[in-house]
Each structure stands twice: as structure tokens, then as C-alpha cells.
Structure 1
Amino acid sequence: MSTGNRMARGWIAALSLALACWLGATAGHAQQTADGIRTEPVRVVTVTRPPFSLVEDGEETGFSLDLWRAVSADIGVETEIMRVESFAEMLDMIRAGEADAAVANISITAEREAVLDFTQPIFEAGIGIMVPAREKATSSILGMLFSRDLLIAVAAAFGLLVGAGMLMWLFERRRQPYFDHDARGALFPAFWWALNLVVNGGFEERQPRSPAGRVLAVILVISSLFLVSVFVARITATMTVEAIQNSVASINDLYGRSVGTIEGSTAAGLLDARDMRYRGFSGLDPLITAFETGELDAVVFDAPILAYYVNTAGEGHGELIGAALFRENYGIALPTGSPLAEPINQSLLKLREDGTYETIYRRWFGTSG
């Protein structure tokens, strides 16, 4: 056999082997895609952010997690959910490759995109402002005006008027007919005289005639000026506080107030950009606790999460003001170069087209997405 024939056969064998390897890899990739990208479960990390991610009756649920379940079922993968305490920890796990996907209310930002990959948006949101509910503020006003201390003061004032009137009866009962009654019969006339003295300066025709009565009348008039001034000042101060509390209509009204948000959030970035001082919290629970205990005048955070709070656990505690600020989109975060990106994006498009996304959205938000 000639050397040329042997070389030709060698080349043919090499090409055949290469083609077989390529076909095998392609078939394997196709089979892997058909079987759901991978055989092991996808490690999904999340953080508690109602209504996007929460534990309810021992079950992992929420809008984002329900949407992920629909995606995972569509692309044929199993899921292992890992719940962590903080948002930063969740994103760090994606960067470190300790998780395959992060699902919650994750804003798609340029800074995060530089170190992570994102799917197409799964939710359109914005930053909201929450302040104490007006119903609660009104209740607070009534509580201050009719507090135990104030009621005691009013009762003491009535007692003082009755006592002063009866003392005047004692001084004047033999000097003018108005006070010419026995003790029981003089009770209301004496009280009425003292009340008119305090409010109107007294009766012209009922001026005290005894020296002791005149001294008592002068003391009552001077004391009444002080007591009425204190009462009016208390009401005025309370109404002023109410007016200040209800004057928050936009983010520009938050300067100089106690504002809270979560550290590292897009809301914190917005406040930083406006040079606004705020208290940063590690998580949602301590932030809400500080708001409910009156430590904060306002909370600036993701509008959908604040809306969910004021309509559920926070009903009567807080209310949203103004339109949402800084429109943003949430996405599923993935490690850079993740092979899951394309299948997930295709599935998200499919779920929007077949109505599955709309069904999940209405389940959690009650309106069209």
C-alpha cells in the first residue's frame, strides 16, 4: 500500500473521530438541555421580603418564589431553596458561586450587573415613602387630648370650682339672696357662680360683699387665667405636632426628619444621592419595628414591599404617600456566565405569553401585571 493511501486513510480516521466527538458533545448538550440543564438541583438563595419571598405556614412562598417554581417546572430542574438573613449575604453567595440563582426583590442595577448576570425583568417596581397612618395620628391626637392626665386635670378643675363656689356660699349666704340656701340647695348655684367667674369674670349683680368673698373671687380670676392658658397651650401644641407630622408629601419633605431604610438597598443609594441623612437597618424586621415604635418619621424602601405591609400586618400603622420614585426592575440574579440564563429567559417569555405570569401576579397583588 502506498504511503499516500495510508496518509489519506489516517486523515479520514482522524476526521471521523473528531466528527463523532462533536456529534456526541452536541447530542449530550441537547440531551442535557432537554433533561433540564443539569441533573443536580438548582441552588436558589433568597431572603425574606414579603410579598416576594416569605415563609407561610412552613412553606417557602411569595411572588418571586412562585414564579421561580413555574420557571423551574418549565425548564425541568429541581430546586433547593436556601434562605439567608440579609440581602448582602444573598448576593455574596451568587458572586462566590455558592448558589446558582438568587430570587427575591433584586433590583437590576449597573453596579450589580458588573459582577452578576440578570435575567430579563420579572417585576416593575419603584421606591416608596411610608409615613404613620393618618388614622393612627388622629387617634394619637384624641389620646393626647383625652389622656388620663388631662382627664384628671379636668376633674380637678371641676372639683376646684365646686369647692370655691361652696366656699363663697359660706362667705356670702347671709349677705345676698343668691347664696341663701342650705348646703345641698346651694351646690349648683355655687358651682355656676364659680364657673361664670372663671369664664366671664363673674356676675355683675352677684359681686361678693364680704371681704373674704372678694379675696376669694380675685384669687379665682387670676388662677383661671393660668389654668385656661395651660389647657389652650396643650391643645395648640398637640395640633401643631399633628400638622407637622402630616406635612410629608414628597421626598423633599424628609430633610431633617428621622428616615429609615435598609443598608445597601437602592433606596439607600437614592437617599445618598440626595445627601439625606438616614438610619440604615440590616433587615426588614428591625426597620419595621423601629417604625412601629415611633423611632422613625418615615421609611423609604421598595414600594411593593411597603404596600404589602400597610395592607396586611401594618394596616392602621402606616400609609404610602406620593407616587413611586426611581422606577426600577427586579430580576433573577445569576453568577456571571451562568448556563441557566438563556433557558430562564425563554421560560419567562413563555410564562408571560401563556398567562401563567399574570395568574401568579394577581394571586399576590390582586391587579394586572
Structure 2
Amino acid sequence: MKLLAAVALTTVTLLNFASAVLAQSNDAMVFATVDRPPFAILETENGSPEGFSVDLMRAIADDLGRSVSFAPAESFSAMLDAVKSEAVDGAIANISITAAREVEMDFSQPIFASGIQILMPAEVSALGRVGGLLTREIGTAILIALGLLFGGGMLMWIFERRHQPYFDRPAKDALFPSFWWALNLVVNGGFEERMPQSRPGRFFAVILVVASLFVVSVFVATITAAVTVEALQESVDSINDLDGRDVGTVIGSTSADFLNQREIRFTGYISPQEMLADFDAGTIDSVVFDGPILAYHVSSNPKSKARVIERVYRPENYGIALPSDSAMREEIDQSLLKLREDGTYDALIERWFGANFRN
């Protein structure tokens, strides 16, 4: 009798345990996220979040036989706080795996290899660069130079009109020939066969030649300096070249930590959307942030006059954030391995980043 009671008790216990396990496996998972195109896009036509990380989490949930829903967070820090407080089962977006975050939460295997890059205005073409040099100051200098050449040529006409055939013509017919003579005198040293014959003309010609040495030198130096300054302003070969530029990044991001470590001043933004809008408007002239998000901004805005510097300044890996000692970590890692092996992961990469992208 006691044996039968023990068997019955054991059977009931096993059934209860199996029911609990089954119920747990069917529980819906709730993952926090934040708007970070193309990893998480909250504003969609069907009202359901989309993006590489969101779709990857859905694929993991399908593989685990569980459902998943997404809880939008007001900010990136609020999303991580929800994970640390275990208010959600985890978080998904472009979450960099760092030592500081690892202390407060767990992470899955890396789901994306990323890094910090720089967004800059698009390179100016040679024609556009020349056009940019035509400032009011340079335009005024050109007009003054032309006026002096015209005035000098007409003054030489007054001195030489009765001493050589080239200047022996009426005033209305002498306007361009006189200007042309003065221009050649300054640029080429003049015409040997049209050397001034009168004493005032010879004296004035010497003054013109000597003065032109200084005028041409100053003019060339001004143009050269303008070209050099513009080239230096556009050139960013290292992170140190950001000194003196209006840099923007997101507050609390790994990019902000990166800039703070190098003592580079920047304007902090709550969201990448606000930051990129200011960049497009010209409020800031460079952005330091996650490379894939910057590249997506450029590719999704055909009219955007911007470029992403190819150099990666700090390689990073994105992962799925989980509460400390989460029981789901192992099964999520196993599911990620399956999705990489069966081609699901590569299909998501191709969908969101293009067929030629490799991660």
C-alpha cells in the first residue's frame, strides 16, 4: 500500500513538473527595444516593429517555440534599465557588448560586428571647390585688379598715343587694346616690339612691372591659402582631426565614452534621429556614432550630401541583452548558432544591409 502511494505521489510530482516546464516553454517573451534604424524601426506602416535585430529576435522565438512581443523604450538607457531591473526578458537593438554593461547584465553571443565611425559632409568636386573660392572678398579683389589694369592701360594710351602705332587710335577704339597691353605687361612682361617710347610711358611701365610682382604674389597667396584651408577643413584622417569641428553623438553611448576619453568636445543628443537631422541641417558638421546606423542614414537618403569615413575607430559587437543569470541565455545562444547554420541569419543580413554586405 505504501509502495502504491509512493508511486502515485511520484507520478503526480513528475506530471506537475512537466506541466510547469511546458507552461514555461509556451510563455510569451517580452523584449525591450528602442528606435535604431535599421536594427529596430518602431514607426512602421503596420504598427509592428521591424529591423534586423527585431526580425532576428522573432526568428529565435520561432526556433524556441515561443512567442515574443516588443516593448518600446523612451531611450537607450531606459531600455537597459528595464533589463537590469528584470522588468523585461531582455532587450534587442544595436546594444554594444562592453565590460561595464557585462557587470550589470548578461549578453548573448554577438549578433552583429560593428564599430564607431565618422559621418562627414560629402567630398566637394574640383568644380565645386573652385566655386567655393569665389567669395565676395576674392571677387572684389578681381574687380579691383581688372580696374587697375584697365586704368593703367588707358593711362599708357595717353602717354604713348603719338609715339607708336599700337596706341595711335581714338579713345573708343583703344579701350581693349590698352587693357590687353597692360594685362600682358603684368603677366608676361609685355610685348618687346611695343616697348614704351615716351619718357612718361617708360617710367610708368617700370612702375607697373614692379607693382605687379607684389600684386600677383599676394593674389596667388590668397588663393593658395583659401584652397589649403578648405582642404584641411574637409580632411579627416584621424580622430584628432575632429578638433575644432562641431561634433555630435548620442549621450550615454559608447561613442560618447570614446570621445570623452580623447577629450574631444561634442554636442550630446538624446536620439540618433535628432542628431542626424541637425547634421543634415548643417547645425553640426560631423557625427561620431555606430557605423552601420550612419551608413543606413546615407543609403536611405539619396539626397543626403554625406559620407561615412571607412576607418573603424573602435570595433564593437552587438548582442542581445539579458538580465543577470538569465535562464534563456543558453537556449538563445544555441538558437543563434542554428540560425547562422541554416542560412536564416545571412538572409536577414541581405534583407537589411544588401547582398554585398558581409558580417
TM-score > 0.5 by shorter chain:
yes
Match of 2:352 in 1: 364
Contact 2:119 2:306 in 1 (8 A): no
Structure 1 CA distance for aligned equivalents of residues 92 and 116 of structure 2? 19
- The answer on 1:23 being equivalent to 2:47 is no
Match of 1:54 in 2: 41
SS of structure 2 residue aligned to 1:43: strand
**Structure 1 pair 248/154, CA: closer, same or farther in 2 (3 Å)?**
same
Match of 1:352 in 2: 340
Match of 2:110 in 1: 121
Match of 2:98 in 1: 109
Match of 2:320 in 1: 332
How far apart are residue 14 of structure 1 and its match?
7.2
Matched AA of 1:285: Q
**Structure 1 pair 137/98, CA: closer, same or farther in 2 (3 Å)?**
farther
Q: Which range moves more in the overlay, 351-360 or 55-64?
A: 55-64
SS of structure 2 residue aligned to 1:277: coil
SS of structure 2 residue aligned to 1:124: strand
Match of 1:95 in 2: 84
Unmatched segments (≥5 aa) in structure 2: none
**Structure 1 pair 153/257, CA: closer, same or farther in 2 (3 Å)?**
closer
Deviation per residue, 1:309-346 (Å, 9 max, x gap): 34443854223143x34433211112234444344333
**Structure 1 pair 131/172, CA: closer, same or farther in 2 (3 Å)?**
same
SS of structure 2 residue aligned to 1:54: coil
Structure 2 CA distance for aligned equivalents of residues 140 and 286 of structure 1? 29
Structure 2 CA distance for aligned equivalents of residues 301 and 97 of structure 1? 28
Unmatched segments (≥5 aa) in structure 1: 1-7
Matched AA of 1:341: R
How far apart are residue 53 of structure 1 and its match?
2.0
- Report percent identity of matched pairs: 48
Matched AA of 2:93: A
SS of structure 1 residue aligned to 2:350: helix
Structure 2 CA distance for aligned equivalents of residues 270 and 254 of structure 1? 15
Within the candidate set 228, 235, 239, 2:227 is matched to 239
SS of structure 1 residue aligned to 2:124: helix
Within the candidate set 145, 150, 158, 1:157 is matched to 145
Q: Which range moves more in the overlay, 182-191 or 14-23?
A: 14-23
Deviation per residue, 1:32-67 (Å, 9 max, x gap): 41x3x33xxx43322232321235653532211221
**Structure 1 pair 286/218, CA: closer, same or farther in 2 (3 Å)?**
farther
Deviation per residue, 1:91-141 (Å, 9 max, x gap): 1222233433211110112211222222222112223344444x3375653
Contact 2:34 2:72 in 1 (8 A): yes
Structure 1 CA distance for aligned equivalents of residues 42 and 288 of structure 2? 24
Matched AA of 2:338: K
Deviation per residue, 1:16-44 (Å, 9 max, x gap): 446514421322322441x3x33xxx433
Contact 1:136 1:317 in 2 (8 A): no
Structure 1 CA distance for aligned equivalents of residues 34 and 136 of structure 2? 44
